[in-house]
A = this chain, B = another copy of it.
Amino acid sequence: MPKRVDHEERRSQIAEALVRVAGRRGLHAVGMRDVAAEAGVSLRLVQYYFGTKEKLLLYGLRHLTDRFTARVGARLRAEDRDPGPRATAEALLLTSLPADEESRIFHLLYTSYAILSVTDEALAAQPFIDSPDAAEDALTGLLRRAQEAGLADPGVDARTEAIGLLAMAAGMGTSILVGQRRPESAAEVLRHHLDRVFTSPTP
């Protein structure tokens, strides 16, 4: 056998090229030739490692979500010593706002994929549900534990609150993306709503 190249690594390289060019020109506008050029390989190679464009797009979506969940996870783990539910929830929500270029691209492409999945059944079968559900569970757990510790308003339903906060963050994420709102403004709104549900510890 010849060179024996790591297929998974090659696929990752090409997928990142896809993310870059799609972040620049929009997911709808990327062709296989663009991806190949951005990755510095020939068109034939993209075909070789992915076969069809649909498979390339599906792989790109998984690559994107993987990278982002890893990023959020790292951000959460970066807090030395558990800083309490409020700070954790705040980090969880604020990290998912499109503040820097990387998360801007993530939001843009994730939303593009989501919209595409409405009319494309191959995309609809992909794990669009998993990541949001995980975030919802995590935030709900955070709120529950805060309530039990007397750090959060016990009068609210934790899951309803979590759903609302996540939807709020997602909605403002889109607003930021289209230039309607600045990231700091969105963060302020989120913190304001967190202040409401997280009460200061009353003895």
Contacts and interface: CB of A to CB of B under 8 A. Distances in A.
Interface stretch (A54-62, A140-148, A177-185): A177-185
A172 interface: yes
A151 B166 CA distance: 27
Interface in A120-162: 120, 124, 128-129, 132-133, 156-157, 160
Contacts of A111: 111, 115, 174
A25 interface: yes
Interface stretch (A43-51, A69-77, A189-197): A189-197
Given A28-B28, A156-B196, A157-B192, A118 B178 contact: yes
Contacts of A174: 111, 114, 170-171, 174
A68 B5 CA distance: 54
Contact of A116 (B28, B163, B175, B193): B28
A116 B168 contact: no
B26 A116 contact: yes
Contact of A164 (B116, B118, B168, B170): B168
Contacts of A132: 175, 180
Interface of A: 24-26, 28-29, 108, 111-112, 114-120, 124, 128-129, 132-133, 156-157, 160, 163-164, 166-172, 174-175, 177-181, 186, 188-190, 192-193, 196
